[in-house]
Chain A
Amino acid sequence: MADEEDDIVLSELDDDELVEQMFDDLYDGLKEEIEEGVNILLERGWQPYDILTKALVGGMTIVGKDFRDGILFVPEVLLAANAMKGGMAILKPLLVETGAPRVGKMVIGTVKGDIHDIGKNLVSMMMEGAGFEVVDLGINNPVESYLEALETEAPDILGMSALLTTTMPYMKVVIDTLVEKGLRDDYIVLVGGAPLNEEFGKAIGADAYCRDAAVAVETAKTFVARKHNQLAAG
């Protein structure tokens, strides 16, 4: 089996076979192979946005599904994400040049007191893959950082992440501050992190709790579309 795989020459595959192979390579976390696949598709005249959505996001969606179903675990998802990151690094400047469609904008960050960013980074990457512009504030963000970014970036969505039960209550501090300042309804607030659940998301006044990166993308798309519809309806 391994020998057979070793024999695969990506450039000899037709487009459909290559995309399928890239799904497998993403699943196996093979960064160099993903980078090679992206470059081959570019050479064949594929649009960067098509490579991103059809090959990379398509592959990561399978990874996300198997993670949710307990088939894959965090280390494997991280390897897959690292491989996708390799492909994204090639595509990102090209996406800017070619003016890929923009679905919306998100400011995202891990809350104060928390330095964990694996989940947040996955969400950022998948959101970018889905056509969102993402401003990543990094880790350990006090409410002031969020407020400043909301003011300067004017995003559609605020995303907050926490891994610790001791830090997740800080999300409510941020949301309460938004309410106090009369800003809460200006943003879609999405929250996520291992110890959270839907009940917690509701209790702190978030719009939604997202259990993983794939759910975050779908939830973000739904809320942004709803927001646009409301604006259109005037």
Chain B
Amino acid sequence: MCPAMTSLPDDTTLRTEGLDARGSGRVLVIGCGAIAREILAIRDRNGWSHLDLTCLPAILHNHPERITDAVRTAVTAHRADYETIFVAYADCGTGGQLEAACAEIGVEMIAGPHCYSFFEGNEVFAARDEITAFYLTDFLVRQFDAFVWKPLGLDRHPDLRDMYFAHYDRLVYQAQTDDPALTDKAKRCAERLGLPFERRMTGYGDLQDTLARWAQR
């Protein structure tokens, strides 16, 4: 096996357990399980074998109040094993708490409010100033039921749909990869939510530039 490669667990494991570090490399990225696949794709494409990745359970996306403590714990747990640690989270609903914690413990994180913003590019996303779009990424399309449909109780009470989504006017699928099957699934997600569908090919956006910078350290 190529030393730069890491076998990626399935999406369910990424959602509930995250990803363990490989245990080698001098730079560690502690990230969200929802972007594990993307980080590894960028890393492996660029041959950054010195960069290791561990991910927290992606389901923290639905519980942002738990993210800061989880990141803090992970940084503490890995600090002695790596020269440098980076945090692959944006603010992600922590209301500045993650940023404050990262500043306190001396680690850099991704700029921006959330992955929807950095995948599109923070500047472009901010300029759009969209407040009525509901976003899905590749991972969230694959995990739509676990992250959206079931937590909102729509599997049990589909009649609640319009109470949640009445003010949205579209579902925007931010595609990291060009995958027709995933696009079809995203379209079905939009239909289930009763929203018009829009696909944007974002690629990895600012994540790629951020990782490139981190890999140079």
Which A residues fall within an 8 A CB radius of B? 29, 73-76, 78-79, 82, 113-118, 139-140, 164-166, 168, 195-196, 200
Q: Are B153 and A73 in contact (CB under 8 A)?
A: yes
A-B contact count (CB 8 A): 46
Docked CA distance A118–B132 (Å): 15
Q: Is B152 an interface residue (CB 8 A)?
A: yes
Q: Which residue of A lies closest to B91 (CB)?
A: A165
Main secondary structure of the interface of B (DSSP, over half): loop
Q: Which residues of chain B from 114 to 142 have a CB within 8 Å of any chain A CB?
A: 131-132
Assuming the contacts A165-B93, A165-B95, asked whether A78 and B131 have C-beta atoms less than 8 A apart, the reply is no
Q: Are B167 and A118 in contact (CB under 8 A)?
A: no
Q: What residues of B have a CB within 8 angstroms of the CB of A196 in the complex?
A: 95
Q: Are A118 and B168 in contact (CB under 8 A)?
A: no
Which B residues fall within an 8 A CB radius of A? 64-65, 91, 93-96, 113, 131-132, 152-154, 156-157, 160, 163-164, 167-168
Docked CA distance A12–B56 (Å): 55
Q: Are B157 and A79 in contact (CB under 8 A)?
A: yes
Among A113, A140, A166, the one with the most B-chain Cβ atoms within 10 Å of its Cβ is: A166
Besides A165-B91, A195-B65, 17 more A-B contacts (Cβ < 8 Å) are A75-B160, A78-B153, A79-B157, A82-B163, A114-B131, A115-B132, A115-B168, A116-B167, A139-B167, A140-B131, A164-B93, A165-B94, A165-B95, A165-B96, A165-B113, A195-B64, A195-B93
Q: What residues of A have a CB within 8 angstroms of the CB of B160 in the complex?
A: 75, 78-79
Q: What residues of A have a CB within 8 angstroms of the CB of B64 in the complex?
A: 165, 195
Smallest beta-carbon distance A80→chain B, Å: 11
